[in-house]
Structure 1
Amino acid sequence: MELRSDTSARLSFFMLTLSTVILECGGFSGPIVNSFPYGRKPAQVPLGGVRRQAAVRVQMSWRLPKGYRREDVAGGDMDPSFASILGNRLGIIASLVNNGSCVLDVGTDHGYLPIALMKSGKALKVIASDKNILPLDNARQSLERINDEALEQLELRLGDGLAVLSCGEVDTVTVSGVGGKVISEILFGAEGDAGEVSERRRVQDYGVRRVVLQPTGSISTLRKDLLMNGWEIVDEIINSEAGWIYITMVAEWRTNENQGENNISAERMLVGPHLLRRASNSAAEKILLREWIKHQLRHFKSRRDGMRMSSEDVDQLKLEEAEENVKILSQVLGVMEGPENG
């Protein structure tokens, strides 16, 4: 399959078509007829009465303050073609997928990201998965409306996380719209009460070598888990859409050995190994990062003060962690707001 670098030309008609699909996602009154893996074709599933709605809005933790100029910030490396089709939130994820990739999109919802990746020719194959039937039916409706041969290599699969995969099917995984801890569980398994990770394959065991992740919270936890499992964070981008701030990270698998979270300073682990660098080169991204740091600072101050005033026994390690995070974020914010930075 020949890949074309000029995605704008290939997406010109698709922009109009997918925009129509996004605005017309409506109810479905019949059974789901798509085939699902492992013979799990659902029986008659009544889905009637679902209201028509616009594109789903993910409620992020980091909202820009009232009165802030809400001009969307695309962020570095954004492909304008994807931004015009998907908006900044999903557009940056599509932009960070390598050409010629085979992709699993976990929690696909309406399927807009997989459709854009296939229509642009950027992905050779996409598996759109979700653990719930309704989102997959939304994606199926999107496919039916577009009805294009370019989407023949787009599969819909019902299942939880990586359970829909066989080894070697994809080289890239995308996850968005859930917290960093949930993403870690999807990629590396859930941690039990004793701190032991459940026995199941890690994402690299499926042959995946690149992940594009957009967590809604617990970002520093996700950074640490990636490093501990042999992944290198190669980039992070901050952008905004409709008054909400999004942080998207790209990681690539390097080794089965711990990459050593201790090799990254506490400041960079908390704020991001690449966000400060990008903010120094972009006034718009600097403003977003500053607002995000302010939000994080309020969060950790509230946690610290709550533990200090608690009449119950306090986990001393958690209190010390909150105090250290307040100190680090205050220092970073002070540098960013210094007179030489404006």
Structure 2
Amino acid sequence: MAKLSDRLMAIYRLIPNGARVADIGTDHAAIPIALLETAKSPFIIASDVRKGPLFSAQEQIELADLDNPQQIELRLGSGLSVLQEDDDIDTIVMAGMGGELIAKLIEKIPTFLADSLLILQANNEEGMVREVIIQQKRTITDEKIIQEGRHFYEIIVSCAAGKPKTLTNRQMKFGPFLLEQNSDVFRLKWQKKRKHLANIKKILEESKQQGSLRYDSLQEEIKEIDEVLM
């Protein structure tokens, strides 16, 4: 199997064997290629809203010299609009996008995809993604956190089965599974975030803004991080 980054490998491992997959906003078709190379999936749709990334994906598929490259379909279009009911997709990957965009796509998920497994990796606003998952009466079934260099990536898995659980504000922000796992990577992410916030707080103090709403908000956020890291 071609080498995947830690982020993409974590996503790959979360995809069930035999799944029919849609990789929305595909990253050079890296995950679709890996799925075919390992016979983990019989059919994958790889899409992007721009022609350039799809051209790159096609090049990578050709370079991979797959036995059955026709099992990867490349589609040009926005979000989930590229999918049709007779595709029989049961697993949707949305990775490397902003959290706000992923949240909007979940809100507009077509009825024929309502039971699909969602594997989501937002580059920001993960709390917004969790909030929309719960609003759509879906369940978060797993979470992972990955570090690549200076960057931290949270991966959220959601299904429509089971009784949806409500989340506290803290679980929404930090992730219910990530809080429970309390991994070294999770702790490092929030230690770095706390340091960043403390630096901003210091700047506000130096400019005599201790009474501002921004200052109060920073204090509350730092306090919450401290409680999580205890």
Normalised by the length of structure 1, the TM-score is 0.59
Kindly provide the amino acid, as one letter, of the partner of residue 129 in structure 1. S
Residues 177 and 216 of structure 1 are in contact (CA less than 8 Å); yes or no, is this contact kept in structure 2? yes
CA distance in 2, matches of 1:319, 1:140: 50
**How far off its partner does 1:144 sit?**
1.5
- 2:27 equivalent to 1:109: yes
The residue aligned with 2:84 is: 166
The residue aligned with 2:131 is: 224
- When residues 277 and 203 of structure 1 are mapped into structure 2, their CA distance, relative to the original with a 3 A threshold, is farther
CA distance in 2, matches of 1:137, 1:266: 42
Paired residues in the alignment total 225
Match of 2:168 among 251, 265, 275: 265
Residue by residue, what CA displacement relative to the aligned partner does 1:215-252 show, whole Å, maximum 9, x if unpaired? Answer: 11111111111111111111111122334322111111
**How far off its partner does 1:181 sit?**
1.1
Coordinate RMSD, CA, aligned: 2.9
Task: Looking at secondary structure, tell me which structure has more helix per residue.
Answer: 2
Q: Could you say what secondary structure the match of 2:17 adopts?
A: coil
Kindly provide the amino acid, as one letter, of the partner of residue 325 in structure 1. E
Q: Could you say what secondary structure the match of 1:152 adopts?
A: helix
**How far off its partner does 1:164 sit?**
0.4
The residue aligned with 1:177 is: 96
Q: Could you say what secondary structure the match of 1:254 adopts?
A: coil
Residues 177 and 214 of structure 1 are in contact (CA less than 8 Å); yes or no, is this contact kept in structure 2? yes
Kindly provide the amino acid, as one letter, of the partner of residue 109 in structure 2. R
Task: Looking at secondary structure, tell me which structure has more strand per residue.
Answer: 2
Question: Counterparts of 1:17-56 in structure 2 under 5 Å?
Answer: 18=2
CA distance in 1, matches of 2:122, 2:172: 15
CA distance in 2, matches of 1:253, 1:160: 23
Give the fraction of aligned pairs with identical amino acids, expressed as a percent: 29
Match of 1:241 among 135, 148, 163: 148
Normalised by the length of structure 2, the TM-score is 0.85
- When residues 228 and 127 of structure 1 are mapped into structure 2, their CA distance, relative to the original with a 3 A threshold, is same
**How far off its partner does 1:297 sit?**
3.1
Segments of 5+ residues of structure 1 without an aligned counterpart are 1-14, 19-84, 189-200, 280-285, 336-342
Question: Counterparts of 1:77-92 in structure 2 under 5 Å?
Answer: 85-92=3-10
Q: Could you say what secondary structure the match of 1:122 adopts?
A: coil
Residues 162 and 187 of structure 1 are in contact (CA less than 8 Å); yes or no, is this contact kept in structure 2? no
Match of 2:74 among 131, 140, 156: 156
